[in-house]
Amino acid sequence: MRTEALVLRTVDFGESDLVVHLLTPDAGRIGAIAKGARRSVKRFAGSLDVLNRVRIELAVRRRPGTLARLEQARLVHHHPGLRRRADRFALAGWLAELLDRMAPEGNAAHEAAALYGFALRTLALLEEAEPDARLRVLLELRALDALGLRPELARCVRCGGEPAAFHVPEGGPVCRACGVRIDGLLPVRRGTLRTLEHALRLEPDRLGRLHLSGGALAEARELVHRFARFHVGLELRSEPVLDALGLGVRG
Ligand SMILES: [Zn+2]
């Protein structure tokens, strides 16, 4: 199979091989082994760095759970804008880790293409971004949505009424009446929910201009952080790096 891919993660294997985790527009996430990649300049030409966009030739194994064999890779774009700044690179690396852990393997072609398109547009945005906590929270919301984990933001998840607070396990707001007997509701203002809803509809390259400050930013960080922890169910290794750079979701 010939296709294009984004390199999400690489792991040294044996003497000279490399296991490469790839996101592709045709088959979603794929694990592949690149035989001799740490020696063969000819077939891989140093193209297999994390966050590189590459053209690849793959021999896909029929048995599920086995690695495909990466025959060749050629660099298309190495996202130089990300590599110039630690904050951009950290945010892009966090996205790659999230996709590596959460992107489905062998999903339907149109879903795989949509997720791949999201990843490329987001990296293009980050190549020129001034990352801050606001951009991170908006990107996380968009990434969760692209992975099929979209919170409800407009209406009470139980009766469709006006939102009064957010209920993390149900993935959406509840109204005052429905929330009476629920413990651990997250206070959130309607304006914050509306801004987050707006963020889900914008083209990714416009996210940088969306205003979210002060109390709304703190609420959004808390909401997205708790929603992600509950529904993704894992803490990514790159989270502490983002926290250290002031790009965390923990307020
Ligand atoms: Zn309700």
- Say which residue, 213 or 111, is predicted with more confidence: 111
Same domain, 64 and 51: yes
Q: How far is the CA of 163 from the centre of ligand 1 (A)?
A: 8
β-strand pairing of 172-174 with 53-59: unpaired
The domain boundary, picked from 87, 105, 131, lies at: 131
CA distances from 123 to 70, 133, 154, 171 (A): 24, 17, 28, 27
Sign of CA dihedral 19, 15, 77, 206: positive
pLDDT tens digit sequence for 167-199: 999 999 999 999 999 999 999 999 999 999 999
Total domain count, the chain: 2
pLDDT at 60: 80
With cut-offs at 50, 70 and 90, classify the pLDDT of residue 211: confident
Same domain, 41 and 120: yes
Same domain, 67 and 6: yes
pLDDT at 233: 83
**Mean of pLDDT values over 238-244:** 90
The domain boundary, picked from 131, 146, 161, lies at: 131
Same domain, 179 and 57: no
Same domain, 33 and 83: yes
Q: How far is the CA of 216 from the centre of ligand 1 (A)?
A: 23
Same domain, 161 and 223: yes
- First-to-last alpha carbon distance for the chain, in angstroms, is 45
Same domain, 16 and 96: yes
Same domain, 111 and 150: no
Q: Which of 15-19, 41-45, 142-146, 225-229 has the lowest mean pLDDT?
A: 41-45
Q: Which two tokens stand for residue 157?
A: 């998840």
- In the chain, which residue ranges form alpha helices assigned H by DSSP? 41-44, 80-83, 86-102, 109-127, 133-146, 176-179, 190-201, 214-232, 239-244
Same domain, 211 and 112: no
Q: How far is the CA of 156 from the centre of ligand 1 (A)?
A: 5
Same domain, 154 and 63: no
Q: How far is the CA of 164 from the centre of ligand 1 (A)?
A: 9
With cut-offs at 50, 70 and 90, classify the pLDDT of residue 251: low
With cut-offs at 50, 70 and 90, classify the pLDDT of residue 250: low
Same domain, 37 and 80: yes
pLDDT tens digit sequence for 59-107: 987 676 778 999 999 999 999 999 999 999 999 999 999 999 999 887 7
Q: How far is the CA of 168 from the centre of ligand 1 (A)?
A: 15
Domain limits for position 157: 135-251
- Which contacts (CB < 8 Å, 24+ apart) does range 115-118 have? 115/23, 115/28, 115/146, 115/147, 116/4, 116/6, 116/23, 116/24, 116/25, 117/25, 118/142, 118/143, 118/146, 118/204
Same domain, 101 and 7: yes
Q: How far is the CA of 180 from the centre of ligand 1 (A)?
A: 10
Q: How far is the CA of 250 from the centre of ligand 1 (A)?
A: 28
Q: How far is the CA of 186 from the centre of ligand 1 (A)?
A: 15
Question: How many Å apart are CA 29 and CA 99, to the nearest integer?
Answer: 8
pTM for this model (two decimals): 0.92
